Amino acid sequence: MIRNVLVFSNLTKDPDHKHTSRLIDFLSSMGAHVYMFDREPLPGAEYLEEGRSENLDLAIALGGDGTMIRCGHKLQGSGVPVIGINLGTLGYLTEIELDSMEDSVRLALSGSFTVEERVMLEAKIGDDPKRYTAINDIVIHRDLSDGILTLRCDINKHFLAEFRADGVIIATPCGSTAYNFSAGGPILNPVSDNLILTPLCSHAMLDRSVVLRGEDELDFYIGGFTKEDHALFIADGGRAVSIPSDTWIHVKKSRFTFPLARVTDRSFYEIVQRKMRP
């Protein structure tokens, strides 16, 4: 039985707290202890300091796929499964709709859910010891005030190509339906053990995506610039990091995974078909 539940809500999509409060009230009525990372949690919930998730059994995110990803990063490495309640349009990660929220959450509290361990990425920039992680993708992009980016790519220390392009996307299968897809990359089943390399507006012969094995490691060398003196590195659409020329960026599969909880048997391919419907 699930007892300790984190509620992670996108309050810009629930500005009057109507749906979040409804969820908290229901969880409390089912005997669950409810927590929020907010220092002033809503009535019925307790404040939980970030990083103190060892006693959590489940996290429920209210919002869209972006909310799910932010929740996943907050809980990274904890192993706490995350399930999503959709407050926006049809998403790939949020599977519970508001009209079935109580029935679905009741199932989750009884332990009637499966967990899909989604691949994550890890990146290191130059000699900086900091590690960046991503659930969807990592993007290396030219600064918009600069010209074409020259980017060498090695796979497992073997030269693959030199891209003259706007940049590249390194996506997980989970992120294959995000920026990667918009850039013409392939859609993969989200539980696949693969990585995707997709160039952006490439002027090189290799201007198509490459699907790699999960154990493959990528190294990118950023060459000179035509005007400005930096490129941009972005993990999961977060804050851009400026990268100077003559820098290596190392990307590989992370030791962490994103544990996505599911209570329905809705097929990924059904979601794709609905999203692609005109």
By annotation, the residues acting in catalysis are 65
How would you class 207 by CB atoms within 10 Å of its CB: exposed for 0-12, middle for 13-18, buried for 19 or more?
A: middle
Side chain identity at residue 1, one-letter code = M
Distance in angstroms (rounded) separating the CA atoms of residues 42 and 38: 8
- Contacts of residue 96, defined as CB under 8 A and 6 or more positions apart, other chains included, come to 83, 84, 85, 86, 104, 105, 263, 264
Is residue 109 classed as helix, strand or coil in its secondary structure?
Answer: helix
CA 173 to chain CA centroid, Å, is 10
Written as six digits, the tokens of 169 are 């996307």
